[in-house]
Amino acid sequence: MLMPGMGRKRGLFGAPMGTDPTFTAEGVPQFAKPNTLQTIAGIIGDTLSTAGGGQASFLPGLAMQRQMQLQGQQAAAKRQAEYGDFTRRHDYEVAHPKAPADDVFTRTLSAAGISPDSPEAVALYRKRAETLANPTPQWVADGLGGGRFIDPRGASSAPPQAPVGRLTPMQGGAAPGGPRTFPIR
The pLDDT of residue 74 is 92
Who's near 73: CB < 8 A, 6+ residues apart?
28
CA angle 46, 58, 65 (to 5 degrees): 160
If you average pLDDT over residues 157-175, what whole number do you get?
A: 57
Q: Residue 53: which region, alpha, beta or left (left: phi > 0; alpha: psi -120 to 50)?
A: left
CB 178 within 8 Å of CB 166: yes
Cβ atoms within 10 Å of 92's Cβ, excluding its own: 9
Is residue 171 very low, low, confident or very high in pLDDT (cuts 50, 70, 90)? low
Q: What is the mean pLDDT of the chain?
A: 75
Q: 26 or 7: whose pLDDT is higher? A: 26
Cβ atoms within 10 Å of 29's Cβ, excluding its own: 16
Is residue 62 very low, low, confident or very high in pLDDT (cuts 50, 70, 90)? confident
The pLDDT of residue 1 is 43
The percentage of the chain sitting over the pLDDT mark of 90, rounded to a whole number, equals 16
Residue spans of the domains in the chain: they are: 20-95, 100-134
Q: Is residue 126 classed as helix, strand or coil in its secondary structure?
A: helix
Q: 181 or 22: whose pLDDT is higher? A: 22
